[in-house]
Structure 1
């Protein structure tokens, strides 16, 4: 990075999990002899006395929205042009705000459009976008995120908020990990600049959006898997059953083997195949109230604490993208093995593409051909000649599915699909001509989700999440299922609800396979 920064301006695009992110990256750059970045910060952080102090560290504040303010846009464009021309390193959070779910959020295009426009008009021969993953064992912000996901209001930043934040740092939260993805060259991606071009920072440009999504994909590829993320994934996949240390090790065994077979990035040696390593990870979660321990019986057992499932899911979600394709493959194989399927191989791919479309606002999927290759590679981990097995029909497909280690759909996709079910059912209940008000609808989804959870119509407490409901609603809007007056609206809403329920039924089948494996009925 130091060598690249000598020739071209670097634009650091880190993830945003915590208010510590900017300090963490600044410290890492300083320790390695790199200059501090000019960092774009949200105007919400410009409060007394922190605003002035932050400006002295290289932070400049920008408004959340300024689309109709031509003077503001002109000044910002001139400033970005100057920074790019003088090769000053830039930094901002590509997600635009802190992730409330733990997953990488969809990228925002605003500032990137100004940088791309400056390059396009010849302010530099090249600009390098540097994907940065900042990961944590645990963070102090997560309780506030969980409260927001349950429908609470975000606390505004202020000096009092800052003092509470600093006091919370007295507790131990573990390690911080920084990983840099492969830099992305604008010259290589967009071709040579055109110094005679007119200014046009166009956020709707398809090339710009592809750049942003590629940066996000590269961030995901280098995000390290932590012991916390795997332990919470294991505990959340037990349907609220408490586990002993030995049972936790057994639950983690296939996950660890999968991580090693795929050579996925990890935060050092995870040490989760030993009782000492697992106890260390569980004790760290107990210290911050995420996990509870019952030790009055012959052996101690551990479970996610009451009302802590959203917090635990936050840590799980930081690495969930590594397991999504495997989960999709499981569900597609189940569909291909169903009665009445004339072409199992064709149905496998059709179902995989349907799931990709259903989850397209949750995860960063490769384009369709690349996604097919990723899915082929995923199933090949479990069976080299899997495509011939699929073509042989239901019995061979079921035998192939039983070779999967670990099963993933029940702990990776169920929380999202159960949230989608709540939204789909809420839409199906609405009269097709009723006016739609989003805030009111989402409050209704929170209430319906809590009801479903009490009735056990959904299993996962973390499915009752305002963020997940909002994403499901975005999908529904994309399918023209929200606004009144659309043709056949009631029928299409019911079809959407049934589509989600079918997927959940297949996830139930994966849960049954998990139970059979635990009982020793299958290998």
Structure 2
């Protein structure tokens, strides 16, 4: 295949408009690239080219393909890229020299040296503190000392820069790396990497203009897998775009893999900078150097990988450096390109589940990377990479600045370095990127099947019903403005079969020997990862239906299940606050979003409303057509949110464990946060196995952390924040006004007070499982379990103010301030 035959090589961006009516992908598999269109006449997988030849079965073809890469034949030469020149001898030395010459870095070195000299003067190490007249010799000594410190700091900066910067020095290396990684990746993801032809054509036009202006493209992808940065690098290489420098945590910089990634474009940064002013200035100088010279950049807006399948809240570390480059004027402009990467199946999900269930996170090492080799022979489906339309960072700053100044009470504010203003810009920046990632994300077949299996009321579902609901969900995704991965002409049955094949029997069980084969969720926890890939599309509907469920749950027929608009609004507001750390919500005001969502649900005949003489909605109820369908669509939206409701309820119940045991001398004692989180997870697992919790995924570590964070934000608990360099453990205690009552006669917690009221308010929207008993005995059992596990918490995790563990055992009557601590 010649370079010119690549459709992404077109110089005419407008050519995409002629094919806009035909949804199409570009399949990147092995050593070729081809547009495939989602048309009924297109044969399904026949459109996808085969991966590279295998050495075992086709040694001659494999050697031929390898030779083409070594020699750099046609597009493989990677010598006519769109962007600034990279991969040439001396690149890293030139880049390093530019970083070290940054005035910001030089100024910080002078500042730190001066401060150090001043400290030594105050310590009587460099002569008298007061210098007058003939004491000029001390000035010379101090001058020499300052110069000596500057040289030492420069050496440190030089060493750190060398370890940090990407080393794109060899074009033969990147050719070979592309060949090797593609060999591995296309054996795991046998259906290849797909991108939208329209998006690629548009991106190339932006890249041409950016190269002309010597501007960078900042790729900001979501982060679900280590494959994210690999797939984006492969796409850029194959389409002739300058590879971005990838901001990566130095936890990946271990033998063999670390140097390989660094020579392929990775820059290493510490996971935490602490208060190291030199290091943080060095990182800023590096960002400035890349952006001033038009080198492309890639970093993950979420920080780490999402273990749950949905987008995480934005992390503002590197984003802050990027924004500062433009705000300060050191960089004129850069183009921002949000990127979505979706998978039929994520390689690391098994390890994610272990972490979410409380297993310690394993340190990244070569053995861990090599252990992924067992998936290279599996059929994991495909990877879909989608690019949002790039936009000017300078244009964004100017637009937001104008808005903020217009709303400000002090319109004369001109200082863009006002801390509050910068924080608002940074927050808007982060959430804008996340929203646009969601906008271009595609829903994969595995996510469709996983979502359907987790939103059905029965134990299993017949094949026909599964296909029907997958087709319904596909239509709902599109109606919400979402995009479903192109099926390349496959009928829906074929799509479902492919998804079931990729998910495998460990995730989806099958029952044969019945009139129709039946499928069920074998591993609900792992399937929830794929369900969470769709939830952002329906979060508004889920909030409304879950609020409506608080009435439906009470029963009594259609008339009794009506809900007033104000009741609905209040509970939707409560839920949106409850889950503000869980989901990326629409940016429109709640009232506007609620009205829009209700109109959609009414049009879909899920809900119906009545309006008053003023035209305002007065009551909401389940539509009669929905009741005739046994409320399957209404239940669908509830099933999406119920696991998160359960997790929030569990988080509130867990706070009861923070109540000090009776007669404990200090009602405001601290306990270790990590131990508290572990005990909360233990509480959840026990409640699940005893039948008091419906969803096992509610005990996942991330959901509990979010619930605990909300308790802190609401002032229910107090959490210490040790300094960045402090090794002191994080501590937590219960606020006195939220302390639950205790019946010392019965020796039990009492189900009353502000904390219990919160638990009850959340409980109103929890799923009412059939056969589930409610009442005094259940409350007593739940709180009794919280008290029992809480005793272990107080034995193991009580901390003195200095953070030293203070073991208190029931068998030991330890005297504290004259009072025996009876536990």
Normalised TM-score (structure 1): 0.88
Please state how far the C-alpha of 1:163 moved relative to its aligned partner: 1.1
Alignment partner of 1:430 is 2:654: no
Cα distance change on mapping 1:73 and 1:199 into 2, 3 Å: farther
Of stretches 17-26 and 3-12 in structure 1, the one that deviates more from structure 2 is 3-12
Unpaired stretches in structure 1, ≥5 consecutive residues: 510-523
Among 764, 772, 777, the residue aligned to 1:502: 764
Q: Which residue is 1:353 aligned to?
A: 573
Cα distance change on mapping 1:348 and 1:273 into 2, 3 Å: farther
Instruction: State the secondary structure of the residue aligned to 1:488.
Output: helix
Asked if structure 1 preserves the Cα contact closer than 8 Å seen for 2:452 and 2:466, the reply is yes
Among 705, 715, 735, the residue aligned to 1:486: 735
Please state how far the C-alpha of 1:63 moved relative to its aligned partner: 0.2
Q: Which residue is 1:146 aligned to?
A: 353
Please state how far the C-alpha of 1:406 moved relative to its aligned partner: 2.5
Among 578, 582, 585, the residue aligned to 1:365: 585
> In the aligned structure 2, how far is the partner of 1:140 from the partner of 1:440?
30
Cα distance change on mapping 1:342 and 1:142 into 2, 3 Å: closer
Q: Which residue is 2:440 aligned to?
A: 222
Root-mean-square deviation (Å): 3.1
1:253-402 alignment, distance < 5 Å: 253-269=471-487, 274-286=492-504, 289-305=506-522, 308-334=523-549, 344-367=564-587, 369=589, 371-384=590-603, 388-389=610-611, 397-399=621-623, 402=626
Asked if structure 2 preserves the Cα contact closer than 8 Å seen for 1:13 and 1:93, the reply is yes
Cα distance change on mapping 1:280 and 1:168 into 2, 3 Å: closer
Q: Which residue is 1:516 aligned to?
A: none
> In the aligned structure 1, how far is the partner of 2:754 from the partner of 2:490?
47
> In the aligned structure 2, how far is the partner of 1:49 from the partner of 1:197?
47
Please state how far the C-alpha of 1:43 moved relative to its aligned partner: 0.5
Of stretches 332-341 and 83-92 in structure 1, the one that deviates more from structure 2 is 332-341
Among 236, 252, 256, the residue aligned to 1:29: 236
Please state how far the C-alpha of 1:312 moved relative to its aligned partner: 0.6
Q: Which residue is 1:131 aligned to?
A: 338
Among 204, 210, 225, the residue aligned to 1:2: 204
> In the aligned structure 2, how far is the partner of 1:173 from the partner of 1:201?
46
Instruction: State the secondary structure of the residue aligned to 1:13.
Output: strand
Instruction: State the secondary structure of the residue aligned to 1:382.
Output: helix
Q: Which residue is 2:726 aligned to?
A: none
Please state how far the C-alpha of 1:253 moved relative to its aligned partner: 4.5
> In the aligned structure 2, how far is the partner of 1:198 from the partner of 1:347?
42
Cα distance change on mapping 1:271 and 1:309 into 2, 3 Å: farther
Asked if structure 1 preserves the Cα contact closer than 8 Å seen for 2:626 and 2:633, the reply is no
Please state how far the C-alpha of 1:273 moved relative to its aligned partner: 7.1
Structure showing greater radius of gyration is 2
Q: Which residue is 2:698 aligned to?
A: 463
Asked if structure 1 preserves the Cα contact closer than 8 Å seen for 2:223 and 2:305, the reply is yes
Q: Which deviations, in whole Å up to 9, do the C-alpha atoms of 1:432-458 show, x marking residues without a partner?
A: 635232211221122221222222222
Q: Which deviations, in whole Å up to 9, do the C-alpha atoms of 1:189-232 show, x marking residues without a partner?
A: 22299xx9898999971211111011011111211111111111
Please state how far the C-alpha of 1:157 moved relative to its aligned partner: 1.2
Asked if structure 2 preserves the Cα contact closer than 8 Å seen for 1:10 and 1:129, the reply is yes
Q: Which residue is 1:521 aligned to?
A: none
> In the aligned structure 1, how far is the partner of 2:521 from the partner of 2:653?
28
1:204-243 alignment, distance < 5 Å: 205-238=423-456, 241-243=459-461
Cα distance change on mapping 1:342 and 1:326 into 2, 3 Å: closer
> In the aligned structure 2, how far is the partner of 1:202 from the partner of 1:415?
36
Asked if structure 2 preserves the Cα contact closer than 8 Å seen for 1:127 and 1:185, the reply is yes
Q: Which residue is 2:298 aligned to?
A: 91
Cα distance change on mapping 1:342 and 1:28 into 2, 3 Å: closer
Instruction: State the secondary structure of the residue aligned to 1:12.
Output: strand
Q: Report 1 or 2 for greater relative contact order, CA contacts < 8 Å, sequence distance ≥ 6.
A: 1
Among 273, 278, 291, the residue aligned to 1:66: 273
Q: Which deviations, in whole Å up to 9, do the C-alpha atoms of 1:399-444 show, x marking residues without a partner?
A: 3793887323332111111111111111134316352322112211
Asked if structure 2 preserves the Cα contact closer than 8 Å seen for 1:249 and 1:273, the reply is no
Asked if structure 2 preserves the Cα contact closer than 8 Å seen for 1:224 and 1:319, the reply is no
Among 688, 698, 712, the residue aligned to 1:453: 688
Q: Which residue is 1:520 aligned to?
A: none
Instruction: State the secondary structure of the residue aligned to 2:544.
Output: helix
Instruction: State the secondary structure of the residue aligned to 2:477.
Output: helix
Asked if structure 1 preserves the Cα contact closer than 8 Å seen for 2:471 and 2:492, the reply is no
Cα distance change on mapping 1:317 and 1:156 into 2, 3 Å: same
Normalised TM-score (structure 2): 0.57
Asked if structure 2 preserves the Cα contact closer than 8 Å seen for 1:39 and 1:92, the reply is yes
Structure 1 runs (4+) deviating above 6 angstroms are 196-204, 270-273, 336-343
Cα distance change on mapping 1:74 and 1:493 into 2, 3 Å: same
Cα distance change on mapping 1:406 and 1:59 into 2, 3 Å: same
Q: Which residue is 1:183 aligned to?
A: 390
Instruction: State the secondary structure of the residue aligned to 1:99.
Output: coil
> In the aligned structure 2, how far is the partner of 1:368 from the partner of 1:310?
32
Q: Which residue is 2:633 aligned to?
A: 406
Cα distance change on mapping 1:304 and 1:343 into 2, 3 Å: closer
Instruction: State the secondary structure of the residue aligned to 1:205.
Output: helix
Cα distance change on mapping 1:272 and 1:442 into 2, 3 Å: farther
How many residue pairs are counted as aligned between the two chains? 502
Asked if structure 1 preserves the Cα contact closer than 8 Å seen for 2:288 and 2:330, the reply is yes
